[in-house]
Amino acid sequence: MPSYWFGDIEDGRCTPFTGDPPAIAGRVRSIHTDMDAFVPPDWEVAVKCGACKDRGEYLSRLREVCFAAAERGIRDQYAGKDAELLQMVRTLDGMDEAINLLSGRVAEWHQILHPAFSRKYRRTPAHVLVKGISRNGRGALGKVAAQIEELAAARTELAKEVSARANRVMPNTSALIGGLVAARLMSRAGGILPLSRLPASAIQVLGARTALFAHLRTQSPSPKHGIIFQHRRVHNASRQLRGRVARVLAGKLAIAARIDYFRGVAAPEFLESAQASIDAAGKGAGATSAGGSEP
Amino acid sequence: MIWIGDVLVSRGEGGVYNERMLGGARVWDPYRSKLAALYYTGTGREITQEMRVLYLGAANGTTVSHVADCAEVVYAVEFAPRPMQDLLEVARRRRNVVPIMADAACPEQYAPLVEAVDLLYQDVAQPDQAAIVLRNCAFLKTGGDLILMLKTRSVDVRKEPGEVFRDTADALEAGGLEITESVWLAPYHQDHAAIVCRKIRTGGSA
């Protein structure tokens, strides 16, 4: 007794489905078809069934159902997962790049207009300089500087949102390395699923592609860390210990990413033991290697 | 297929992907569409007004729009959400395209929707292309045609393209299909082969 999108057929009798396209689409999802004894649907059967008048109506109703199903499918695929976070991180990185580029350009321009100005012996950060230019600069220069400031404000806002979103979407990875860096790792891998499939050694050098391939091609030393260097535990560690901290941290991150993908909630007992072993590596004690307490 | 001089075209509403127009018809670029490349390098299979087509791996709907110009109805199956959004836009303008969001490797997901078809076209870039075809043969009428675009580098990068091609051809013939034509799509697409088959018996199970 096959079931088709327009209705159920039982003992040669057909019961049409009723309802709007989304309801029918929902019903189609619940149909289990046995492919071994499968007979494709036939529009003439659908007409006899009373689901439609002719072929034209058969196709137009079928299309409505398929559109409803596809729109729901797209929403489901994007919802609650990493798709939006991915776009947010990449936008953030794009904004950083634009802000740096424009700040440098504006500073050069300002210097041309003020022959007495020099940045030598001053430790003026770029954003302070831009603020001054936007206050005093006339015409286009002042406007561009003001825009950079606005862009920087939007960037700060976005960074907060990225961090908050990452804490929610990937709680374990974020707990170990902070929301922003966790989100960057995810963005570089292409999603939480691809990140969870990476080995720890790949996570360790994610974002150090140039150095990695230079190492593989020539005799140069291997990179110790990529994006994870941005975390204070790595860049605050002494030079001799950085490699070890990065390795242990990457090992724990690989486990955390898998918990994030498969479970989606924080695992306190794992986080506690992971933090402890990363701290131990940073202290230079006879630290354990990555691996250890799989939850 | 419609040729104006030595340019392949199809008749329909233009502007889908900024394609060139020629004498009011849409130019079908062999560098963008593997199906067009097949018509340039081999003979392929004529798509006519009364044909029903099942198209697996519809992607952004570029080739789908041309097939829809030629056929009665196209069932377009695509899995990924991003290209699906583009495909839906194409389907909104072309009333003979039925967009289906499902995995071509799992035909039971869309079995209640797809009628028996005259042509099965597959361009999925998966490692088990032959198995996916055989699972979808349930929709193909006996005597109907299959056009398979074999991306040999997606099947196994370590194997020689020719070897991948032979393995796939053997699997298709074991599944009740008769190969009528096979061509490499060079120079339009590298390491891609097109295999045209006819379904000669039912029951070739995957």
Q: Is-contact B73 B53, C-beta < 8 A?
A: yes
Residue B111 structure tokens: 């079995």
Q: Cβ of B136: how many Cβ atoms within 10 Å?
A: 24
Query: Cβ A28–B112 below 8 Å, yes or no?
Result: yes
The interface predicted TM-score of the complex, written ipTM, equals 0.92
Distance from CA of B158 to the nearest CA of A (A): 21
DSSP for chain A? Answer: --EETTEEEETTEEEE--S-HHHHHHHHHH----GGG-----HHHHHHHTS-SSHHHHHHHHHHHHHHHHHHHHHHHHTTSSHHHHHHHHHHHHHHHHHHHHHHHHHHHHHHH-TT---TT----HHHHHHHHHHH--HHHHHHHHHHHHHHHHHHHHHHHHHHHHHHHSHHHHHHH-HHHHHHHHHHHTSHHHHHHS-HHHHHTTT-HHHHHHHHHSSPPPPS-SGGGGSHHHHTS-HHHHHHHHHHHHHHHHHHHHHHHHT-S--HHHHHHHHHHHHHHHHTSSPPPS-----
Query: Which of B67, B150, B58 lies closest to B104, judged by CA?
Result: B58
Among A residues 30-89, those touching chain B with beta carbons less than 8 Å apart? 31-36, 38, 40-43, 59-60, 62-63, 65-67, 69-71, 73-74, 77-78, 83
With tokens 């120079």, the residue in question is: B187
Contacts of A71 in chain B (CB under 8 A): 88
Indicate the pLDDT class of residue A11, thresholds 50, 70 and 90: confident
Is the confidence at residue A287, as pLDDT, over 80? no
Is the confidence at residue A135, as pLDDT, over 60? yes
CA distance A58 to A74: 24
Write the burial class of residue B88 (CB in 10 Å: 0-12 exposed, 13-18 middle, 19+ buried).
Answer: buried
With tokens 């198995």, the residue in question is: B131
Distance from CA of A187 to the nearest CA of B (A): 17
Residue A140 structure tokens: 């286009």
Indicate the pLDDT class of residue A239, thresholds 50, 70 and 90: confident
Is the confidence at residue A292, as pLDDT, over 70? no
Is the confidence at residue A81, as pLDDT, over 80? no
Pairing outcome for strands B2-4 and B21-22: unpaired
With tokens 């699997």, the residue in question is: B171
CA distance B61 to B76: 8
Residues of B with CB under 8 A from a CB of A: 73, 81, 84-85, 88, 91, 95-101, 107-108, 111-117, 135, 138-139, 205
Q: Residue A166's pLDDT is what?
A: 93
Nearest Cα residue in chain A from B112: A4
Q: Residue B204's pLDDT is what?
A: 47
Q: Residue A110's pLDDT is what?
A: 87
Distance from CA of B125 to the nearest CA of A (A): 19
Contacts of B96 in chain A (CB under 8 A): 59
The sign of the torsion formed by the CA atoms of B149, B172, B144, A52 equals: negative
Kindly compute the dihedral angle of the four CA atoms of residues B84, B86, B90, B92, in this order, to the nearest 10 degrees: 70
Q: Residue B126's pLDDT is what?
A: 87
- Indicate the residue of A4, A43, A70 with minimum beta-carbon distance to B84: A70
Question: A96 Cβ partners below 8 Å, 6+ apart?
Answer: A155
Contacts of A78 in chain B (CB under 8 A): 81
Query: Cβ A42–B116 below 8 Å, yes or no?
Result: yes
Q: Residue B58's pLDDT is what?
A: 95
Q: Residue A87's pLDDT is what?
A: 92
Q: What percent of chain A has pLDDT over 70?
A: 95
Q: Please work out, in degrees rounded to the nearest 5, the angle formed at the alpha carbon of residue B139 by the alpha carbons of B115 and B189.
A: 115
The sign of the torsion formed by the CA atoms of A73, A74, A77, A81 equals: negative
Query: Cβ A74–B73 below 8 Å, yes or no?
Result: no
Distance from CA of A41 to the nearest CA of B (A): 5
Phi, psi of B201, deg, nearest 5: -150, 160
Q: Mean pLDDT highest for which of A10-19, A71-80, A272-281?
A: A272-281
SS3 for chain B is: CEEECCEEEECCCCCCCCCCEECCEEECCCCCCHHHHHHHHCCCCCCCCCCEEEEECCCCCHHHHHHHHHCCEEEEEECCHHHHHHHHHHHHHCCCEEEEECCCCCHHHCCCCCCCEEEEEECCCCCCHHHHHHHHHHHEEEEEEEEEEEEHHHHCCCCCHHHHHHHHHHHHHHCCEEEEEEEECCCCCCCEEEEEEEECCCCCCC
Q: Residue A158's pLDDT is what?
A: 96
CA distance A208 to A72: 39
Q: Residue B131's pLDDT is what?
A: 93
Q: Residue A89's pLDDT is what?
A: 94
Is the confidence at residue A294, as pLDDT, over 60? no
Is the confidence at residue A211, as pLDDT, over 90? no
Q: What is the pLDDT of residues A48-64, one digit of tens each?
A: 988 899 999 999 999 99
Is the confidence at residue A295, as pLDDT, over 50? no
Indicate the pLDDT class of residue A120, thresholds 50, 70 and 90: confident
CA separation, residue A211 to residues A77, A181, A186, A206, A217 (Å): 35, 20, 20, 11, 10
Mean of the pLDDT values across residues A269-290?
78
Q: Residue B203's pLDDT is what?
A: 55
Answer whether A211 touches B (CB < 8 Å): no
Indicate the pLDDT class of residue A125, thresholds 50, 70 and 90: confident
Rg of chain A over all Cα atoms, to the nearest angstrom: 29
Is the confidence at residue A284, as pLDDT, over 90? no
Query: Cβ A73–B138 below 8 Å, yes or no?
Result: no
Q: What is the pLDDT of residues B27-47, one digit of tens each?
A: 999 999 999 999 999 999 999
CA distance B3 to B181: 21
Distance from CA of B23 to the nearest CA of A (A): 30
Give every residue of chain B whose pLDDT is below 70, as ranges.
Answer: 203-206
Q: Mean pLDDT highest for which of A261-265, A285-289, B172-176?
A: B172-176
Q: Residue A108's pLDDT is what?
A: 87
**What value does the mean pLDDT of chain A take?**
88
